[in-house]
């Protein structure tokens, strides 16, 4: 079946612009996660959704970062007034919470470059 | 808070050599432990997992045993192949409801297998 998809695969933006990153999880997966992979910080958690609510936003690095999820499916991560330190690969993962499996299935990522 | 420490790379090996990547963790409670792998140009994939103490995860010739007494989850493979060249990430998930099984990753270990 279809895996987790993310768009765009690459995004180059100018400092100060806003960007939106999209994640389509595996159908039926109730849990959705955003992570960031950068050279300086490694792989770090950003936010977790259970359905449309976000019980854990503790990883969002600043109030320029926000995310939403609609219909228990697609999620959008928005970064306002981008800075060069936002350059990273943004990964989305989904998981069938409620089962005995704790596996998270990762998408291919969106590579964001802020110039 | 939770943390994962794994040996820094790169690790360079010859084909058929024995591979060990050390991983230790700090966590409250009893987390699940994972090894994820990222092959060149590909997304993160689950390699193996263990959900309780003394469990052994195994896949594709790789093994790791959940050692609660030493808080470790070292990855081993008896005979590596060139196709095992990748970046390996050790990770844990916290099962508290708020955390929703979010993953905490180690810094990653790059492995290069030469023919």
Give per-10-residue mean pLDDT for chain A (115 aa): 91 98 95 91 91 91 96 96 96 77 86 97
* B101 has pLDDT over 90: no
**Other C-beta atoms within 10 Å of B92: how many?**
23
pLDDT at B98 over 70: no
Contacts of A48 in chain B (CB under 8 A): 99-100, 102
Token pair 């765009």 is found at: A8
Closest partner residue to B98 (CB to CB) among A31, A56, A107 is A56
For residue B32, the chain A residues in CB contact (below 8 A) are 102
- pLDDT-wise least confident of A20-34, B27-41, B45-59: B27-41
**CA separation for the pair B88, A81 (Å, rounded):** 33
Q: How far is CA A56 from the centre of its chain?
A: 13
- Residue A92: exposed, middle, or buried by beta-carbon count in 10 A (0-12, 13-18, 19+)? buried
- Residue A102's pLDDT is 65
Q: Please compute, for residue B96, the number of CA atoms within 13 A of its CA located in the half-sphere on the CB side.
A: 9
Tell me which residue in A43, A48, A50 faces B105 most closely, judged by beta carbons.
A43
Average pLDDT, whole number, for chain B? 93
B6 Cβ under 8 Å from any chain A Cβ: no
Taking CA atoms, B96 is separated from A51, B20, B93, B99, in Å, by: 17, 31, 9, 5
User: Are B113 and B84 within 8 A, CB to CB?
Assistant: yes
Instruction: Measure the CA–CA gap between B97 and B52, rounded to whole angstroms.
Output: 18
- Beta-carbon separation of A48 and B104 below 8 A: no
What number is the average pLDDT over the span B41-49? 92
Question: What was the pLDDT predicted at B26?
Answer: 95
Q: For residue A97, what is the DSSP state?
A: B
Q: pLDDT at position B68, please?
A: 93
pLDDT of residue B94: 77
**Beta pairing partners, A90:** A36, A110
Distance to chain B for A51, nearest Cα, Å: 11
pLDDT at residue A100, as a whole number? 46
Q: Is A87 in the B-facing interface, judged by CB distances under 8 Å?
A: no
Q: Looking at the DSSP assignment, which residues form a beta bridge with residue A108?
A: none
pLDDT-wise least confident of A52-61, A106-115, B4-13, B88-97: B88-97
First to last CA, chain B: 41
Tell me what pLDDT residue A70 has: 92
Q: Which of B99, B33, B105 is nearest to A38 (CA)?
A: B105
Q: Would strands A105-106 and A88-95 be described as parallel, antiparallel, or unpaired?
A: antiparallel
Distances from the Cα of A76 to the Cαs of A11, A13, A40, A110, B65, in angstroms? 14, 17, 24, 12, 37
Integer Cα distance of B7 and B16 in angstroms: 21
Strand B32-38 vs strand B23-26: parallel, antiparallel, or unpaired? unpaired
């Amino acid at each position: 079946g279809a895996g987790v998809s993310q768009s765009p695969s690459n995004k180059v933006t100018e400092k100060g612009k806003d960007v939106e990153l999209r994640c389509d999880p595996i159908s039926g997966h109730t849990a959705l996660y955003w992570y960031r992979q950068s050279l300086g910080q490694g792989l770090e958690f950003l936010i977790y959704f259970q359905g449309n609510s976000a019980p854990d936003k503790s990883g969002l690095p600043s109030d320029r970062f926000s995310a939403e999820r609609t219909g228990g499916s697609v999620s959008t991560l928005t970064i306002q007034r981008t800075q060069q330190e936002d350059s990273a690969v943004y990964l989305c993962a989904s998981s069938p919470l409620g089962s005995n499996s704790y596996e998270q299935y990762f998408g291919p990522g969106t590579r964001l470059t802020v110039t | 808070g939770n943390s994962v420490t794994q040996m820094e790379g790169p690790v360079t090996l010859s084909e058929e050599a024995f591979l060990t990547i050390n991983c230790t963790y700090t966590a409250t409670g009893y987390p699940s432990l994972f090894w994820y792998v990222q092959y060149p140009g590909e997304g993160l994939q689950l390699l193996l997992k263990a959900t309780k103490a003394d469990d052994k995860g195994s896949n594709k010739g790789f093994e790791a045993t959940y050692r609660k007494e030493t808080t470790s989850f070292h990855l081993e493979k008896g005979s590596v192949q060139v196709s095992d060249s990748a970046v390996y990430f050790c990770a844990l998930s916290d099962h508290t409801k708020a955390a929703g099984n979010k993953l905490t990753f180690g810094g990653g270990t790059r492995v290069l297998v030469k023919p």
